[in-house]
Amino acid sequence: MTGILSAMSLKLPIYLDHNATTPMDPRVLDAMLPYFTEKFGNAASRNHRYGWEAEEGVDYAREQVANLIGASAKEIVWTSGSTESNNLAIKGVADMYGKRGSHIISAVHEHKAVLDPVKRLQKEGFDVTWLEPNSDGIITAEAVENALRDDTILVTIMWANNELGTINEIPEIGRMLKDKHSEKDKPILHTDATQWVGKMPTDVERDGVDLLSASAHKMYGPKGVGCLYVRRRRPRVRLTPIIDGGGHERGMRSGTLNVTGIVGMGAACEIAGKEMDAEQERLLKLRTRLEEGILSKLEMAVVNGHKTKRLPGTTNISFPYVEGESLMMAIKEIAVSSGSACTSASLEPSYVLKALGLGDEIAHSSIRFGLGRFTTEEEIDYTIEKVVKNVQHLLDMSPLWEMVQEGIDLDSIEWGAH
């Protein structure tokens, strides 16, 4: 590559923030359109054709979601998205099984949609063990096993981290819990699989998952719709609802169903299942191209998290001595993130990166690149050149980088007030 690639042949801005949300696949929209105008009935209206058609669409979507994750259609409960699914899973288990025990295991680098419900339960008297990831950003089965107690009722660990893309040992945790406990006293395993489902193979039966949260807009479906997988056998998981009124979704989630959104989520899941293998391979090649292109030209840049145990389309790169927000402003025609979309308004450094032991300055210098279904090689090459050019420019203005280049050990300097 010689010089910045011409933006004339590219559609700007370039979208590399697929962990935050994904564009809707046109095929998903095609599946949804009839349910806006022609099949607009309420799925709970069982006295006429309009309601029957809506219910048929909802039931078919249940099958599509269930097929993607290795579940049965009857185990899919519709929600407004993963935040609601996480709240229903965590609070529903705590209330239903609270008499059996009051201990919960989670992790410090979970998404806020898990952290906040668990913290609320902690304030209400539940005892929580907060696991810290290892240096690669992973929660291991051994760490969970060491934290187990006789009164543990819930283990809630995300499958893939939203900022790093690192993959936690969910199948190993599921097997460990099953081996150590009978069905009657086994802690419930919940996983926030928002970043995982639709990108990686999932089989809740094989992997011993009891509750799983997913969201349509993370896999090229519509916003505002998600689901919670709730195991029905071996063991049967019971939940106390957090929304009352009408008894929809087998009493677990009342409210008129978002039929159009549900149909869209079903279509998105079916497409993801069919194209997953090819998409994994393509995204991994693009991610490797991006990482190698940047790291080969910027000696100080480093990829955060495990080298290989990451989602194929996610990379989080730190640029020491460069302020991440300044870099994002410099490459504003490329949509990237400095952390979770739900916390990006905060000026605080990423708590996920700090959980890995990174200092505030390094955490502040990190950018998440989320590649997706419609990302092209040309976009990746343009991104490499823009990032490298602007990081080099920002480094030229950094007195700390100048000191490093001169061989000065920054740790040996006494930084006093002036």
- Residue ending a domain, among 255, 271, 287, is 271
Residue 366 burial (CB < 10 Å; 0-12/13-18/19+)? buried
* pLDDT tens, position by position, 53-74: 999 999 999 999 999 999 999 9
Given a contact cutoff of 8 angstroms between Cβ atoms, the answer to whether 116 and 129 are in contact is no
pLDDT grade for 251, boundaries at 50, 70 and 90: confident
pTM reported for the whole predicted model: 0.93
Residue 350 burial (CB < 10 Å; 0-12/13-18/19+)? buried
pLDDT grade for 306, boundaries at 50, 70 and 90: very high
- The CATH number given to whatever domain includes residue 328 is 3.90.1150.10
- Residue ending a domain, among 271, 286, 303, is 271
Residue 417 has pLDDT above 50, yes or no: no
Bridge partners, residue 127, by sequence: 103
Same domain, 80 and 173: yes
Spacing of C-alpha 262 from chain mean position: 20
Rounded (5°) CA angle 66-71-72: 80
Total domains present in the chain: 2
Same domain, 377 and 229: no
The backbone region for 189, taken as left when phi is positive above 0, alpha when psi lies in -120 to 50, beta otherwise, is beta
* pLDDT tens, position by position, 221-236: 999 999 999 999 999 9
* pLDDT tens, position by position, 192-203: 999 999 999 999
Same domain, 14 and 88: no
pLDDT of residue 404: 65
Q: What average pLDDT does the segment 106-116 reach?
A: 98
What percent of the chain has pLDDT above 70?
Answer: 91
- Residue ending a domain, among 223, 244, 271, is 271
pLDDT of residue 406: 61
Q: Is residue 413 part of a domain?
A: no
Range(s) of the domain holding residue 315: 9-24+276-407
pLDDT grade for 314, boundaries at 50, 70 and 90: very high
- Name the DSSP letter for residue 15: E
Q: What average pLDDT does the segment 117-131 reach?
A: 98
pLDDT grade for 183, boundaries at 50, 70 and 90: confident
Same domain, 283 and 257: no
Same domain, 155 and 281: no
* pLDDT tens, position by position, 2-49: 455 455 578 999 999 999 999 999 999 999 999 999 999 999 999 999
Q: Which residues contact 317 (CB under 8 A, 6 or more apart)?
A: 291, 294, 295, 301, 302, 303, 304, 366, 367, 369
What is the chain's alpha carbon radius of gyration, rounded to the nearest angstrom?
23
Same domain, 144 and 15: no
Q: Is residue 412 part of a domain?
A: no
* pLDDT tens, position by position, 336-353: 998 544 544 556 788 999
Average pLDDT across the chain, whole number:
92
List active site positions: 342
- The CATH number given to whatever domain includes residue 117 is 3.40.640.10
Same domain, 176 and 291: no
pLDDT of residue 418: 38
